[in-house]
Structure formats: structure tokens, C-alpha cells
Amino acid sequence: MERREFVKGLAAGLVAVPLLREAAAALGSRLDSLQEDLRASAPGSSFWQRIGREFALNPDVVHLNTGSVGAAPQMVIDALGNYARQIEGDPVHNVWGGVGDAAEEVRARAAAFIGADPDEVMITRNTTEGMNETAVGLHLKAGDEVLTTDHEHGGGMVCWQYLAKHSGVKVRYLEIPDPVQSKQQLIDLVAAQLTPKTRVCSFSHVCTITGMVYPMAEIAALTRPRGIVLVCDGAQAPGMLQVDVKQLGVDVYCSSSHKWMLAPKGSGLLYVRRDMQERVACPLLSNGMHVYTAATGTRNVPTILAHGVAMDFHNAIGRERVEARCRQLSRLVRQELGAIPGLSCISPEPEELSSAICTFAVDRNKADSGQLAGRLFAEHRIIVKVAQGTYAYVPESEARPRNYNALRISTHIYNNEEQIGRLASALRMLLG
């Protein structure tokens, strides 16, 4: 669905709400203006400088931690505030009237954004909510096995551990090499761990620790013929990578839109493949995928509408351009930091396994990564993430604990070459 079609649909859904219809029209004008400016400049420094002006980031802050939470564009911030103020003028009729129809337009938009059909996608609050609902909805039994990894985020792991505690499900942790050398190496590791008792494979699309991209389509070729449910923690992918859940072959895909999609905080998506929906029988989906059902209760409508604005922003720029820019800056990070003594990259080198997240282990004789990250912000106003080895959620009895003493750097379209140079200079100084 093109941007003009979405804004037209949004305005139509708001026909009985004049103020909100005016907000949609104003949004369309801002997106038109952005696209005209971008057409006037070829992708290069001036192009991305124009994009940078759309953000409200403090000018003295270098935000290199989109992997934790993204920075919404100003038009998303404005839309969120405008919709909230106007809805509150007549909350009953606005929340359940034409605005509800507009929220459904956003859901259709979100489905298209990740390559799904509208009846396969629900708007959620975050990845963790989708993972929890999926785990409960599968109704696994004692002795059933879930294969995951020791590199999963806690939000994609505790749902299975909950089932282990309360239902007798066995959770098995695949130890991820550091770094993975090839796609085939990872596929072979997964294949070797599948057993007749494996009911679920739960893997990240993009690893939260190293930024490695999992070969989900190849893994799906292993799991689907065996009737194993393939659940994907997609928190780090939509908005950074061009995601097509059909091509990935996953059964369930959970994501957080407030990271790389730059949507309001507390917004996410849950995709359940149509053929899997009876098998994922959770309360949240019991009345369908619509924004508002008896199972969902009242929703945060301004956040959902602003979620649509965030997707329009990506599409106005071009999602392929966004991914290319994120990757371009990440390659520069690898180049600049890779030349600094005391730092070693633990993210995979092959392009097919890499993303816009890269992680560098710090020589323990030179610095503690937590203290180093603290000094980067306190002294240089640069925000990076301290990267875990294995999360505290991984039981030591089930997996070998690891601590990489590392820094994770995430590059998005509001970052630039000067900021990466600033990071490299600061690290050279702090590491002596």
C-alpha cells in the first residue's frame, strides 16, 4: 500500500472526526514535502542530512543503541500528541468510532510491511508480549522439548522457562559459536540438535548480542517437514532489514516496532501463519487479529495511529535505502573500531550473516565494558550497549555461561560518519 493510499484510507476512516481528519491531511503534506526534498538529492551526505533533520535527538547526544530502543521521527511524535489530544475531546466516539477503523488501516499497513496478510497480523505492545502469548497458546505438555539458543534475549526466553517450571516442558539451549563462520555451520548445528521430542524451535531473526542474522528460511526447511513450530523473535529486524515473513518460512514472528521501525514506545507486531492459527490457541487471539476485540480490551489508539506514521516515514525514504544506509554505517564501525588495539569484533563477517548491529569485545586488561560504556556517555555523550555473553536467564546447569566484556553498536539512519569517527576517537583515548 503506497503512502498516499494509506493517508487517503486514514482520512476516510476519520470522516466523522474532523479534527483527526485534518491531522491526517497535515501528515500527508509533511510526507509529500519530505519525498520532494529527497527526490531533489541523490543518496549521499546531503540526502541523509535531510533525513537527520526529521529527528528530535539532542544535538550533543550520539545515539548508537537503536538495538535497545529507537528514536522516533518528529512527525511520529507530533502525530502521537495530536491524536491523543483530539481523541480525548470525545473519547467514547473517537476510540470506538471512525478512529477504530483507522487503526485497522494501520494493521493492514503493518501486515504489508512484513510481507504478511492482514488476517495473520496483530498489533501488540512488544516482542515479549507476542512470545508469551505464543508459548501459552501452544499448550505444550510435560516432556515436550523447545530448542532455543544461549544468545536469546530474556524477552524471548522466559516464556519457555515459564512452561518448564509450570508444565514440565524441557528447554534445550544451543550454544552459539563466537563468531559463527558460515550459514551452513549454523544450519548444521540446529539440525544436529533436533530430536523426536522437539516441538518448538525458538530463534532470533537478528541476534541481540552480536547482530548475527539467522538463516530462518533454511531452518524452516528443517522444522516444517517435522511438524516443529518455528517461532522467531524479530525484535531487531523490521525497520533495519526488509522483512518478508513468507520468505523466511517462520510460523510465528514477534517484533517490537519501537526499535528499528522508529514507532512509539510500547508498539509491536505478532504474525501467526494462517495454517498455524488453530495451533497457537492463546486468549489474545481467541477473537481474531483485529485491533479491538473482546480479548484485547481497550487499546492505545494514538500509539497505533502513530505506528502507521512511522511506517509511512520508512516507505517515504525507501526501505531498501534504509537497510543499505544502516549496513553502510555498520561497515564503517567495523573498519574504524577494528583498527583500535584492545577491541576485537565478535560479530560474523559474512554479509549474509551480518546486520547493522556489530559487537566488539574489549581486552579485559584494558577496560571493563560496563565502565567503558559509562565513560563514553558521561565524558563524550555517546550511547552504546554493554553486550552480554549469555543472559542471566540462561541456567548455568543448561548452558555454559559466557561474558564477552563487549560493546554493541547499532547504526540507524539518524547516525552519520562524523558520529562514528567521534566514537572511534573516544575509544582510542579511553583505551590508551
Give the angle 343-349-354 at the CA atoms, nearest 5°.
105
- Identify the CA nearest to 289 among candidates 51, 49, 117: 117
Average pLDDT of each block of 10 consecutive residues along the chain (432 residues)?
48 46 66 74 78 93 98 94 88 81 92 97 97 98 97 94 96 91 96 98 97 98 98 98 98 98 98 96 94 92 95 92 96 98 96 97 96 98 90 75 93 97 98 92
* 161 touches 392 (CB < 8 A): no
State the pLDDT at residue 16.
41
What burial class does residue 314 get, using C-beta atoms within 10 Å of its C-beta: 0-12 exposed, 13-18 middle, 19+ buried?
buried
Cα 387-401-369 angle, rounded to 5 deg: 30
Is the torsion defined by CA of 328, 246, 272, 117 positive or negative?
positive
Element spanning 409, H or E? strand 406-410
Quote the pLDDT of residue 42. 65
What CA–CA distances, in Å, run from 68 to 97, 144, 357, 408?
35, 32, 11, 10
Rounded to the nearest 5°, which phi and psi values hold at 206?
-125, 125
* Separation of alpha carbons 369 and 361, rounded Å: 8
- Three-state DSSP state, 253: strand
**pLDDT score of 374:** 98
- What is the C-alpha separation between 344 and 361, in angstroms, rounded? 5
Set out the domains of the chain in order of their start, with CATH numbers: 3-56+73-115 (no CATH), 319-430 (3.90.1150.10)
The torsion defined by the Cα of 321, 124, 1 and 9, in degrees rounded to 10, comes to -130
Q: What is the pLDDT of residue 399?
A: 80
Extract the C-alpha cell encoding 40: 531533489
The burial class, CB within 10 Å (0-12 / 13-18 / 19+), for 162 is middle
What pLDDT score was predicted for residue 367?
A: 97
In angstroms, the Cα distances linking 336 to 52, 62, 96, 341, 421 are 22, 16, 52, 11, 7
Q: Which residue has the cell 563462520?
A: 181
The letter for the amino acid at 191 is A
pLDDT for the residue 14: 44
The grid coordinates of residue 319 equal 526501505
